[in-house]
Structure 1
Amino acid sequence: MDDLPTVCALIPVFRDQGGISKTLEAIARDPFPYDVVVVDDGSPKPIQCPGQAGIHQVTLLRLDSNRGIEHALNAGLQRLLSREYRYIARLDADDTPMEGRIARQAEFLDRNADVGAVGTWAKCVDDGGKHLFTLRFPTGHKEILRKQRYVPAMLHPTVMIRADAIREIGLYSDRYKTAEDYDLFVRLGHKYRLANIPAVLTEYIVSNAGTTIAKRRRNLVSRLRIQRDYFSWADPHAYLGVARTILFMGIPFGLLIAVKRRLWQ
């Protein structure tokens, strides 16, 4: 245990051997020491992973059936929390942590003991790697909490979370399908400060065939439920956030991507 790294990266995957292989190849180039736990969420053809990616030890957990990302994440968290890592870095299969990301986030949490989670800005690309737009999130705690009345103010695959914060607030909830990250960020923000590093340190895939489109409406319904469950009658942004979510239910996904490409270059 004395040699255990401070950080462990948690990567859920379902039916994406190519994506997890790509992400592990990027991890292998990172000289900062951390472990990796990959959770295969019941893929029909079992995911294969090497036991080592560069200097990083890789552990593969295979679930017997596909129950959804929140269950895969919780299975991984239970393994991580039992091993006393200090920080948990989130990644998704096919996404790429850019050089220095994990080290910068660990250093940030070392210097800011009141911060429960820190994210980064993200370069969004299509399935072919073409740049679409850049996600630039607010960096200060108050600004993050205000934005979270509308949408998540952190991108899930960019965050690093303090393990003790998870122990305090609990694991991912299965009440909000495809919006388990939004609920976690809201709960974290009630107990800890939140932050984003104002640098593009993650490459994020916006897939034409993936979860982003296929589950968008379910995500909006779950977002609306979270906004309802954590509603603040005294905050005008709570009302505006609900209105925004209802409005976005009627806007085609393709139109949103086109607008983001024009405005967020």
Structure 2
Amino acid sequence: MTDQPLVSVVMPVYNASPYLAQSMQSILNQTYANFEFIIIDDGSTDDSLKVIEKYTDRRIQVYQHSQNQGVITALNQGFGMAKGKYIARMDADDYCEITRMEKQVHLMEAQPDTDLCGTWVAYITQHSKTITQLPVESEAIKAFLLWGNSIMHATTMFRRSFLLKHHLKFDQGFVHAEDYDLWTRCLAIAHFINIPEVLYYIRQNDQQVSVRFKALQIKNTQLIHQCQLQALGIKPTPQELDLHYACTRSELSQSVETLRQLSDWLLKLHRQNRAKQIYPEPAFTNLLKSIWSKHTTGQTHLGKRFFQLIGQNQLSLYHQWSHWQRFRFWLKCMLKL
């Protein structure tokens, strides 16, 4: 046991009593046992503290706030108290596989250049489970950061020495997008990885941050987008910011004009990244191609102008097709099939 590196598990708690026992138990039952469990009760007004106090496991350390100070304060406090070689995150209304910590520690020990390790996740409700398969390799993770989170915060295990070396903390200026902000600040200095296995389960309900604070989360996410785009030498218009946000989150309207705007935007990103070399290639270009393909597949009913648009965009798979494939595509566009 003593030759295993210590892991510090940090879990903020605020009014999480309905699911807290399951969350705590999923940590206490881990097959990897050498950890300290730092729980920050952030001024809960329900029975959360009573649930916590039922556990007598010596690895648990409980800290109380007399008033709610917010998750960012709680996180920075917990990270500051951590003594482990690694810091693992946990949210109070989720749960994880009992092998999660063992698998993450094994990877971090085997790959000493990895600074942050996440996992795939499953979103669960009373009646369903939806698996999210995130990018695995560091280059693909970094490429997607221009649009959003490619690492789920609560799944992460950090190398504490990396955080200390670069004086990294969560920023109060990006409430409900503090993780995304931190990842983007790590873009040029960190090596990321996601374990391609569901080791974490996120409970979906109407009390989720993404539901209760959706408007603020979108606002702060777009602020982060704006900062990254400016680093690429782009000063986006409000319309471009909205298009950028939407193109990886929803379907755009099926019109040639909207697709032309998207084409111009993706090509601008492609040009600027070639000039600035911020996002790793070829992962970034491959992602641009994937976004373009997502919105243009099955749109031949838009006709001749759509065919011309596809031919003009160097990101189109059209340019990799055989003559026969191009002819069939042209014919479907002309017939608006």
Q: Structure 2 length normalisation: TM-score? A: 0.65
- Rate the CA distance shift 1:170–1:74 in 2: closer, same or farther, 3 A: same
3-state SS in 2 of match to 1:47: helix
Matched, 1:149 2:150: no
Cα distance per residue 1:102-133 (max 9 Å; x no partner): 1110111111122111100011102x3x3331
Cα distance per residue 1:186-228 (max 9 Å; x no partner): 1223211111000011111121233220111111111111122
Taking only aligned residues, the RMSD between alpha carbons, in angstroms, comes to 2.7
- Determine what percentage of the aligned residue pairs are the same residue: 20
1:206/1:212 contact within 8 Å kept? no
Mapped partners of 2:185, 2:95: distance in 1: 27
Matched, 1:20 2:20: yes
Give 1:177 deviation, angstroms: 1.0
Mapped partners of 1:36, 1:86: distance in 2: 14
3-state SS in 2 of match to 1:171: coil
3-state SS in 2 of match to 1:40: strand
Give 1:141 deviation, angstroms: 0.9
Structure possessing the higher radius of gyration over alpha carbons? 2
Mapped partners of 1:197, 1:207: distance in 2: 26
Report the AA paired with residue 189 of structure 1: L
Give 1:14 deviation, angstroms: 0.5
- Rate the CA distance shift 1:53–1:114 in 2: closer, same or farther, 3 A: farther
* Aligned residue number for residue 104 of structure 1: 103
Report the AA paired with residue 20 of structure 1: L
Structure 1 or 2: more strand by fraction: 1
Mapped partners of 2:170, 2:16: distance in 1: 22
* Aligned residue number for residue 65 of structure 2: 63
Gaps of 5+ in 2: 252-337
Give 1:250 deviation, angstroms: 9.7
1:51/1:57 contact within 8 Å kept? no
Matched, 1:36 2:33: no
1:227/1:242 contact within 8 Å kept? no
3-state SS in 1 of match to 2:187: helix
2:145/2:184 contact within 8 Å kept? yes
Cα distance per residue 1:25-68 (max 9 Å; x no partner): 222322311221111111124623148576x6111111122121
Matched, 1:77 2:79: yes
Give 1:77 deviation, angstroms: 1.0
Report the AA paired with residue 115 of structure 1: T
Mapped partners of 2:182, 2:221: distance in 1: 12
Between 86-95 and 183-192, report the one with greater CA deviation.
183-192
**Structural mapping, 1:112-123, within 5 Å:** 112-123=111-122
3-state SS in 1 of match to 2:18: helix
Mapped partners of 1:53, 1:207: distance in 2: 30
1:149/1:241 contact within 8 Å kept? no
Cα distance per residue 1:130-181 (max 9 Å; x no partner): 3331111001111111111111101111111111121124211101010001
2:222/2:245 contact within 8 Å kept? yes
- Rate the CA distance shift 1:250–1:141 in 2: closer, same or farther, 3 A: closer
Give 1:248 deviation, angstroms: 8.5
Q: How many residues align?
A: 241
3-state SS in 2 of match to 1:190: coil
- Rate the CA distance shift 1:155–1:184 in 2: closer, same or farther, 3 A: same
Highest relative contact order (Cα 8 Å, sep 6+), 1 or 2? 1
